[in-house]
Chain A
Amino acid sequence: MRKRILIVDDEPNIVISLEFLMMREGHEVRVARDGEAGLAAVKTHKPDLVVLDVMMPKLDGFAVLEAVRADEALAKTRILMLTAKGREAEQKKGLSLGADAYMPKPFSTRELVDKVKELLDRDD
């Protein structure tokens, strides 16, 4: 089933890899290069899932996450946090703010794809 995926990250090469993986799964992929653009894209395109980096210019991933979760209209948006900061505290913070899943960089492509599939299948 074709879903809409938004990738928000400021690392061009990582975006390329994520884009490739998601498109290979047959999803429709959009890309945003910073937090502000990412939040705007969430609001306009209402993606089914957002792959969200934490460390970004302008608006960091947590702020984007909070803004999305604060918006009732976007309640169904699945959010997968991705970060190079792999500390426990970061993970907890992301999850407590309402992220659906959290993966540290560098990530395993297979796990990422599986996680995305799992989140998209969890239909409620």
Chain B
Amino acid sequence: MNFDKEYFNLGVLDTLSYKNTLVHRLDPRTKVITTFAFIVTVVSFPKYEIAGLIPFLLFPVVIFALGDIPVWFILKKVLVVSVFAVFIGILNPLFDTHIKYHFLTFPVSGGWVSFFSILLKFFLTMCSALLLISTTSFPGICHALRKLGVPEIFISQLLFLYRYIFVLMEETLRMVRAKDLRSFGKKGQGISIFINLVGTLFVKTIERAERIYHAMLSRGFTGTIHFVLKEGFGKKDFVFMSVTGITLFIFRAYDIVGLIGRLAERMFN
């Protein structure tokens, strides 16, 4: 069932983010900033670019290896995520039919070239988002965002939401299980049952929120959430950031793949 799996995946990512490796020990700000820089660089390539994107595979591979992240788990997630980009991209070959390249005498139309470019970008950007969350704990990311100037209320909202996702998902899981046990075949799949489920869940949620609020008040809550995080921006962060920055620039500015290809061709001839 879909629901169980999503819930399980969330837990796995959370566990992964608390590993202790070189990448995990970096300051969350470093990882948030470099991930954004990476995504913007990848996306900035024009639509017919394929070769220029290939070297960027280096980043996910290095993070996978350094961070000791299970490759198949992340790849599976990338494959099943929302396929909007693929769905829109696959229409490119229909609309853009002029011949762009000849690949060993096979004509390749511009539409296919731009479609593969979209696929590559899709893969790289999805990987980087998932790698960010599997190498950085969620409170760590919130901390980084707060330090980078995101409003306080939004940060508390994120932290609360994250804490109670697991609680409410378990609640929902129990309700769904109870519904499934009472319905057979197609029964109980319709919209009216769904509305009742959601409504009940909402009422339960409000009651829970009130209890939580009282509990927090009695423990001295004044409106802000405090962090206890030991990481600081250190030498390793500086090194990581500058190496990433320089590499991104080189990969963006120079045609590495073409260079290697031409050198190889020369060697073979």
Tell whether A and B belong to one assembly: no
- Which residues of A line the B interface, CB within 8 A? none
